[in-house]
Amino acid sequence: MASFRDIFTLFRESRREAALLGAAASVLIILTTFSFWLSHRLEDGSRTGAEMNRYYGKLGRVARMMRTVESSQRGYLLAGTEQYLRPYNELHSQLVPRTKSLIESAPSALEEKERLAVLLNLMMRKADEMAATVADATNERRDATIARLKENYGVKLSEQIEENINALQDEATEKREEIETNAAELREIKTIVDVIGGVAVLAFSFLSIWFLMKSNAALTKAHKALEKTNNDLEDIVRHRTAALQRANDEIQRFAYIVSHDLRSPLVNIMGFTSELETLRKELFERLEKANALADADVLSKDFDEAFGFIKSSIARMDRLINAILKISRQGSRPLHSELIEAKALVETVVSNVAHQIREKDGRITVGDLPPVLSDRMSMEQIFSNLIENAIKFLKNDGHGEIKIEGYLRGVDVVYSVSDNGRGIDPRDHQRIFELFRRAGPQDVPGEGMGLAFVSALVRRLGGSIAVESALGIGATFKVTLPGTAAQNRGIAA
Amino acid sequence: MNKPVAIVMIEDDHGHARLIERNIRRAGVTNEIIHFSDGASAFAYFKRIESEPADMNPILVLLDLNLPDMSGIDILEYLKNDGHLRVAPVIVLTTTDDQLEIRRCYDLGCNVYITKPVDYEQFAVAIRQLGLFFSVIKVPDPLNA
């Protein structure tokens, strides 16, 4: 009982452990996913940061370009030499497209889209203003140019452009810094998550190892409990077997003693009956001499009848006692296991009963019999009893036939002795194996012990015997003996 | 010096004892038959032989194995281990026909082992032959042994 409870507990605990390990796995998955997401966010952040940096540079380059074009314009206006106009010619046409490209490539994180539109507007006006002044200077209208300069229109535009670009650059820097702060925070969280993850992995590993050790210990315990139960069971079996053996021995001793003690009085009865017979002879002789008896013949016959019954009864009783003795002795005889060539053994038995077969004018055939590991003397007695029985109950019509066959059935060896004799009523199939019990008309001499003897022998060899028969058709006796491996155990026991 | 041999019969069944005696007589043996129906009285007799051997006749023992107070085997063992009585022939006459028992008796030094057959004819023949055996056997006097 204890072991079953252990196994149940083990089962329940293993379920709890499985649940715990499942939870641990989910926690690890969540932590890993979170960490992955954080990495992704960090990457996004750094990409945005880089974009901001690039944009910052781009803004600066546009501002510088505008200043370069402006200083080239001024140089030309002051000196009037074409040489100063070269940067202007190179870059003036790019000012507006560059500013437009600023709008197009503005990072999504930058919120100042309106300022960019204002910047474009200012840049277009500045470009127009510079183009107008350069055109006036080229066409020798210096007065108009000076007048325009005095209006400070161009300077104001430049200042406004720079203001806007600075504002945008500040914005980009601010954004970048914001992202960096954010990233630092994220990195911190990620570190914490990673540490927690690592600790969790370690903890779960220890937990698993602990579970494994615990379940292993429980398994060992259950195994030991099972082993103990097994041993207990073997002990019980050993005790029962010993008890059975004792009971069996007792019965055999009892049969032995009873048969001996019964024999003693029988010797007396028989002895003194014979003595009486002798006396009677003398008595009758004397009576005859004295002529005292008229009908001596009748008296003599009565005496003979009485003596006859007494003697035949004693003889019968003696045979019965001998039968009991024989069986009890068989039970105590040690068995010797050896490999028996059953065909040769049966042929010897058959040759011993050859004259009985001839008397009945019958035939006997021995088929191929598988060898068996068993006790030789027991086997001889089994076959000789079965064959003699078969001969006894053959019909006297000259068609009597006995067949001895054998085959393997699984691990068992089966031998059969079949005849076409008078057969046995199915009602008697059980009885015929009992001691002193016979079946059918009692016209064949016998004590009714042959089959009881055979059945005791077969049982002792660890086998079984069965009969298949119907009246008038014949009978088949089947002896099943354990095959080699199983038989070794049977004989050793 | 040549005292007649006494037949010591140890047999608990009086019927058997009577039948044995009759058949011995029928065989023409006239020696004295001393009957004991249990082991203890037989032992007492053997002790007396040992203490005053000169007064006693040499003996031949007819022994039944199934006695009420002890096993005949014990008596056989005692006789065959005794300095004087060892020479007395012992005939085991019993109902037991177990081969082991017979072997054991011969191992202990019994001279003849006879199974009492239920068939009276056989029984009578066996005893009479025993009588013939008595008439020819030379039983040594324990004193001269």
Nearest neighbour of A260 by CB, restricted to B66, B119, B121? B66
Q: Is residue A94 part of a domain?
A: yes
Q: Residues A208, A302: one domain?
A: no
B119 contacts chain A (CB < 8 A): yes
Residue A197 in contact with residue A155, Cβ under 8 Å?
Answer: no
Query: According to the model, what pLDDT value does residue A386 have?
Result: 93
Q: Residues A405, A478: one domain?
A: yes
User: Which residues, 6 or more positions from A487, have their beta carbon under 8 angstroms from its beta carbon?
Assistant: A337, A372, A373, A374, A461, A462, A481
Nearest-by-CA chain B residue for A266: B118
pLDDT digits (tens, 9 = 90+) for A78-87: 887 888 888 8
Q: Residues A260, A205: one domain?
A: no
Alpha-helix runs per DSSP H in B27-119: 39-51, 72-80, 99-108
Q: Residues A46, A160: one domain?
A: yes
pLDDT digits (tens, 9 = 90+) for A302-335: 888 888 888 888 888 888 888 877 777 777 778 8
Size of interface A-B (CB pairs under 8 A): 50
Of A330, A355, A377, which one is at a domain's C-terminal end?
A: A330
Q: Is residue A227 part of a domain?
A: no
Query: According to the model, what pLDDT value does residue A384 have?
Result: 92
Cβ within 8 Å, pair A260-B96? yes
Nearest neighbour of A268 by CB, restricted to B15, B22, B121? B15
Instruction: Count structural domains, chain A.
Output: 3
Q: Residues A32, A173: one domain?
A: yes
pLDDT digits (tens, 9 = 90+) for B26-75: 888 888 899 999 889 998 998 888 887 666 778 889 999 888 888 889 99
Strands B59-63 and B6-10: parallel
The secondary structure of chain A in percent helix, strand, coil, rounded to multiples of 5, reads 75, 10, 15
Domain of A198? Answer: 2-220
**Prediction ipTM score:** 0.78
Cα–Cα–Cα angle for A88, A90, A94, nearest 5°?
Answer: 95
* Assigned token pair, A232: 């207990």
pLDDT digits (tens, 9 = 90+) for B71-94: 889 999 999 988 788 888 898 988
Q: Is residue A226 part of a domain?
A: no
Nearest neighbour of A268 by CB, restricted to B16, B98, B121? B16
Q: Is residue A278 part of a domain?
A: yes
For the domain that residue A366 is a member of, what is the CATH number? 3.30.565.10
Query: According to the model, what pLDDT value does residue A493 have?
Result: 39
Q: Is residue A229 part of a domain?
A: no
Q: Is residue A384 part of a domain?
A: yes
Cβ within 8 Å, pair A274-B124? yes
Q: Residues A323, A446: one domain?
A: no
Q: Which domains, from first to last, does chain B contain?
A: 6-101+112-136 (3.40.50.2300)
Cβ within 8 Å, pair A268-B13? yes
Sites in chain A below the pLDDT cut of 70: 1-11, 13-14, 292-296, 484-493
Of A269, A299, A330, which one is at a domain's C-terminal end?
A: A330
Q: Is residue A325 part of a domain?
A: yes
Q: Residues A394, A319: one domain?
A: no
CA B79 to CA B69: how far, in whole Å? 17
For residue B141, what pLDDT band results from cuts at 50, 70 and 90?
Answer: low
Cβ within 8 Å, pair B19-A318? no
Of A220, A238, A261, which one is at a domain's C-terminal end?
A: A220
Alpha-helix runs per DSSP H in chain B: 14-26, 39-51, 72-80, 99-108, 120-136
With beta carbons under 8 A apart, name residues in chain A contacting B124: 274
Q: Residues A314, A341: one domain?
A: no
Q: End-to-end distance of chain B based on CA atoms, in angstroms?
A: 13
User: Which residues of chain A approach chain B closer than 8 Å at the C-beta?
Assistant: 260-261, 263-268, 270-275, 314-315, 318, 329
Q: Residues A56, A134: one domain?
A: yes
Mutation target among B11, B95, B127 for the A interface, most CBs of A within 10 A: B95
Amino acid at B2: N
With beta carbons under 8 A apart, name residues in chain A contacting B120: 270-271, 273-274
Q: Residues A283, A178: one domain?
A: no
Nearest-by-CA chain B residue for A267: B118
Q: Residues A320, A341: one domain?
A: no
Q: Residues A81, A151: one domain?
A: yes
Residue A63 in contact with residue A243, Cβ under 8 Å?
Answer: no
Q: Is residue A244 part of a domain?
A: no
Query: According to the model, what pLDDT value does residue A489 have?
Result: 47
With beta carbons under 8 A apart, name residues in chain B contacting A314: 118
Query: According to the model, what pLDDT value does residue B1 have?
Result: 45
Residue A92's CB: how many other CB atoms inside 10 A?
Answer: 21
With beta carbons under 8 A apart, name residues in chain B contacting A264: 13, 16, 66, 95
